Chains A and B, each alone.
Chain A
Amino acid sequence: MIIIGEKISIIAKKVREAMNARDPKPIQELAEAQWKAGAHFIDVNIGPAEENGEDLMKWMVESIQEKVQAPLCLDTTNASALEAGLKVHNNKWGKALINSTSNDPERFIMLELAAKHNAEIIALTVGKGGLPADAEERCAIAAEIMGRAAEMGVPMEDIYLDPLILQVCTTQDQAMHSIKAIQMFQELNDPPMKTVVGLSNISNGVPKAMRSLIDRVYLTLLMYEGLTAAIANPLDKDLMDVMKTTEVFMNKTLYAHSYLEM
């Protein structure tokens, strides 16, 4: 199971302030903590970054990879900022991951960047209009994105299909649609397509004390259907323990009494 550490986000006040002040320390500490907790990618969410986006993303990538030997997940809607990050990303520990393309024409450019810079990419199965109604609609959108990716020269194994997780407290029936989509996405290609979710979306709007529980139960169901990766909080030990335990049940890791410590 691939964990994409979600903690470095413009939404967090501490991170936002560090970004504005170009103070690398809080960001590096957060990156290191997530990496040590088992994150495979570190997500770098700088938001739309309309002003100095290129400069900000470049600085973020360089500051984080100075301390952490892991690939980064570059998360912005600003394509030129994203490209600036890709140019300086050190691929020694793995390809960068672009977050994200979709069926919205404004996001097609992200696929071009993936092809040009040999990066992996998350494909959100949503279009410009409303949200997908069910798993079948998500698959139809996925197929369109895959066709476009093939035309642009992005290999299928570099794409992570994202069903778009919606919050359980307002759109309860969507929880199962997304799980079914994870299962169906894999059948769109041989070898199976990779899949990813923004896990904490499921618990958005839920009282804070319940969020971790909801996240980890949902993660188990998604993993059972073959989920490849999750954008999640690796510092949530309960969540990581559930993930490791599910991997044991699924024979992805070998059991030993100390498996939670590994």
Chain B
Amino acid sequence: MSFVVPKESFNGKVLAVDFGKDDKALIVGGESCMPFLSFEGETPNRPVIAHEIQDCSPDDWPDTVKEAYKDVSSDPVAWASHCQDKLNAKAIALRLVSTHPDRIDRSAEDAAKLIKDVLAAINVPLIILGSNHIEKDSTVLVAAAEAASGHNCIIGKAQEGNYKTIVAAALAHNHKLIAMSELDINLAKQLNILITQMGFDKQKLITDPMCSALGYGLEYTYSVMERIRLAGLAQNDQTMQPPILGDVGMYVWKIKETVAGEADVPEWGTLAERGIAWETVTATSMVLSGSNLLIMRHPSAIQNVEKTIDELTSS
């Protein structure tokens, strides 16, 4: 008797969310099975990796990743164009870190102007991220949503403390929205419920259950993402069916393994390789646990993960 692969099929399905415009628009999600198990269901859209840039020089990034963008990173518009034209980025994630009160405290108006400039320079889809300051984000992201009106961007992150204004802005300007909660599946569900109760279409939502780097709680993120997927698929929980975001780069490029010099820890090997490997492994784990959209920093790490996705999706 020949071996028959046991198959599991589900009633639920991950929602397919599109972002961007025209022929550069992308769709994430839409699968009816666990990641890459295409023999059990449909997997219509491969995970998307967005290249992360920010609105000021990345002085806080470690050398390995700073080096990769040294010629363009002083100008966000040039940086965005470089990612699109030279690195073939399919999507770009612009993080408005300089709006944070502890950084430059740049105004919402300045952020809005920059977004218009970046959008004029690129045609791939744009993800607009705040500085992760609850109060400031609720003014910055409102201005950002307006500035990007008509571009079908993803904006975020809406959190428990500021979701109302950000949801209203995404609704008014027809953007997709990232809802972020802090590594707690029940809170992730609750936030999705609250956002949809405001009249925001669940088909426009992306869940960020909060990422983490390998060695720094990755297993918690992995487990929460996997459980979100299973709730959406196996229990057909409508609130747990939006695509999942893995915001990888910002968690990886600050830990000591991506920063510590070779002289200090010679047994850890080459610093550059180490950092790239760390981001690669972290991001690969995220797509395996259910991430549909990744935000990453190093071009080589992005290439590595794209290659892995190629291999996992080729039949």
Contact = CB atoms under 8 A, between A and B. Distances in A.
B281 to A, nearest CB: 29
A213 to B, nearest CB: 28
B240 A254 contact: yes
Nearest to B188: A256
A13 interface: no
A-side interface mostly: loop
A256 B235 contact: no
A255 B231 CA distance: 11
B186 A255 contact: yes
A254 to B, nearest CB: 5
Given A252-B235, A254-B231, A254-B240, A261 B189 contact: no
Interface in B217-255: 227, 231, 235, 237-240
A167 to B, nearest CB: 34
A257 B239 CA distance: 13
Given A253-B235, A254-B185, A261 B193 contact: yes
A252, A253, A254, A255 interface centre (most CB from chain B within 10 Å):
A254
B121 interface: no
B197 interface: yes
B194 interface: yes
A256 B197 contact: no
Interface string B187-212: 10110011001000000000000000
A258 B194 contact: yes
Counting chain B residues whose Cβ lies within 8 A of the other chain, the interface size class is: 10 to 19
Nearest to B237: A254
Contacts of B227: 254
B239 A262 contact: yes
Contacts of A252: 235
A162 B292 CA distance: 44
A81 to B, nearest CB: 32
Interface in A127-178: none
A258 B239 CA distance: 11
A258 B196 CA distance: 12
Contacts of B194: 258
Contact of A258 (B190, B237, B238): B190
Interface in B97-145: none
A254 B197 contact: no
Nearest to A251: B235
Contacts, number: 30
Counting chain A residues whose Cβ lies within 8 A of the other chain, the interface size class is: under 10
A256 B193 contact: yes
Contacts of A261: 193, 197
Nearest to A252: B235
A61 to B, nearest CB: 25
A257 B185 CA distance: 12
A253 B237 contact: yes
B267 to A, nearest CB: 44
B191 to A, nearest CB: 9
B223 to A, nearest CB: 14
A257 B190 contact: yes
Contacts of B189: 254-256
A171 B118 CA distance: 76
A114 to B, nearest CB: 22
Contacts of A256: 186-187, 189-190, 193, 239
Contacts of A255: 186, 189
A141 B289 CA distance: 47
Interface string A229-243: 000000000000000
A252 B237 CA distance: 10
A253 B231 CA distance: 8
B227, B238, B239 interface centre (most CB from chain A within 10 Å):
B239
Contacts of B231: 254
Contacts of A262: 193, 238-239
Contacts of A254: 185-186, 189, 227, 231, 235, 237, 240
A254 B185 CA distance: 8
A254 B190 CA distance: 10
B276 to A, nearest CB: 36
Interface in A186-245: none
Nearest to B231: A254
Interface string B163-194: 00000000000000000000001110110011
Nearest to B232: A254
Contacts of B197: 258, 261
B200 to A, nearest CB: 15
Interface string A28-63: 000000000000000000000000000000000000
Contacts of B185: 254
The 5 closest A-B pairs by CB, nearest first: A256-B189, A256-B190, A258-B193, A254-B231, A257-B190
Interface of B: 185-187, 189-190, 193-194, 197, 227, 231, 235, 237-240
Interface of A: 252-258, 261-262
17 contacts: A252-B235, A253-B235, A254-B185, A254-B186, A254-B189, A254-B227, A254-B231, A256-B186, A256-B187, A256-B189, A256-B239, A257-B186, A258-B194, A258-B197, A261-B193, A261-B197, A262-B238
Given A254-B189, A257-B186, A261-B197, 7 more contacts: A253-B235, A254-B227, A254-B237, A256-B193, A258-B193, A258-B197, A262-B193
